[in-house]
Chains A and B, each alone.
Chain A
Amino acid sequence: MTETAIHPTIDNRPAAFTQAEIGWTPWLQPLSEEDLSDRHWAGLVDASRAKSPYFMLLARDPEILEARTKTDKDIFYNTKAGLPRAERELSAAAASRFNGCIFCASVHSRFASHHSKRTGDVQKLLDNGTDADLGSSRWNAVTKVSVALTQTPSTFGVTDIERLRSEGLDDLEIADAIHGAAFFNWANRLMLSLGEPTAAA
């Protein structure tokens, strides 16, 4: 029998970019806990992710989920030198804003605000888009190069490297910004295409 996509009924579906906590609901059937083998648990990396319909859907292919999750964690949470956390989150939020992922942008704009305490500047990115003045040339540069990388095909080049260098970024910080924006081109496409945002629970 052909399987069927889920058409959820959603009240108050988020229709604009927000820093508020929102939910997400899948369009394909996630696994349930009783379906999980050791292979699936390994793919989830953190057992608590069995509570998330997003990760339980991705757990259908556990090997790529595990590698994806470990890539994600190192890019954003390995703070042995490199770009400050706030600006890694800014690169993620900028890519998400530009691709149009309301859910991803909500999470990572909130994290950018948390680490920078610049909630108002972050809100300008959400309200006015990636051309907005975010209150410092350094944030504008991180946003601009994240957008250049996110365009398809990417327009990122040596001028983007120079733009970041003129703001004082060292080579590891530049690599962190590249990875933050690039990773959200992965994450946005999964979040946007396998389900949709819901109002806060």
Chain B
Amino acid sequence: MTAPTPDVIDHLADIRPGSFVDRIRTERPETRANAQKSYLALFEPAHEGDVTRAERLIVATFVAGLHDAETAEAFYAAGIEGDAALIAAVKSEIEAGRTSGPYGNYPSGPLSREDKSGLVFTVSELGRTALGHKLSAALEHSHLLVYRPREASPEALQALLDAGWTTTAIVTLSQIVAFLAFQIRVVAGLAALSEAGEGIRASATAAE
């Protein structure tokens, strides 16, 4: 029997057993357990379905890189076994794709005054050769989801279908990008809390 995977959020945020942040996480046991189960469902799936483990890790590495989340990027990249050229290609696309968000246009109407333009990312020719058409389409969609989710469209999904992803695979890919957007922010938040040091202890009174 293999050892259970250590808690990834604790690992990435460097939360030590017995620390005050560890104790706070214990107050929300379902959150902690299901954030980990989410990781396992996406990266150690019982049913691999239409997205391979390597594809999952490449997308995750790219998404973490776009978030400037170095520890998470290294963590997911470490799972991509043995293919140095592929990892180098992903890193080069991360460099080309990094910007800051959220940005994008709203459907035309009263919110158009909040439209904000920004990079519409496409994978480089070199990257496309290394990654292939299908993964390149996944990275382009991931970039949209990371920085300009309000510009999503049926056309963007059609591009994924045309590149060979199934409807179910698109659900899985979308969950990977969206989950990473959560996981990376929980890690950033809890790491900041840890750095700030212990403050006011939780009172036992119920919220509400």
Contact = CB atoms under 8 A, between A and B. Distances in A.
B200 A5 contact: no
A80 B41 contact: no
A150 B150 CA distance: 14
B161 A4 contact: yes
Given A28-B171, A64-B175, A152-B66, 4 more contacts: A100-B111, A171-B202, A175-B189, A185-B178
Nearest to A184: B182
Contacts of B192: 156-158, 160-161
A68 B183 CA distance: 12
A80 B208 CA distance: 9
Interface string A73-94: 1110011111111000000000
A67 B204 CA distance: 27
Contacts of A5: 154-155, 157-158, 161
Interface of B: 20-21, 24-25, 27-31, 33-35, 37-38, 40-42, 45-47, 49, 66-69, 100-102, 104, 106-111, 114, 144-147, 149-150, 152-158, 161-162, 166-168, 170-172, 174-175, 177-179, 181-182, 184-186, 188-190, 192-193, 195-196, 198-208
A98 B102 contact: yes
A190 B162 contact: no
Interface residues of A, number: 78
Contact of B101 (A57, A101, A152, A173): A152
A125 interface: no
A151 B202 contact: no
A65 B37 CA distance: 10
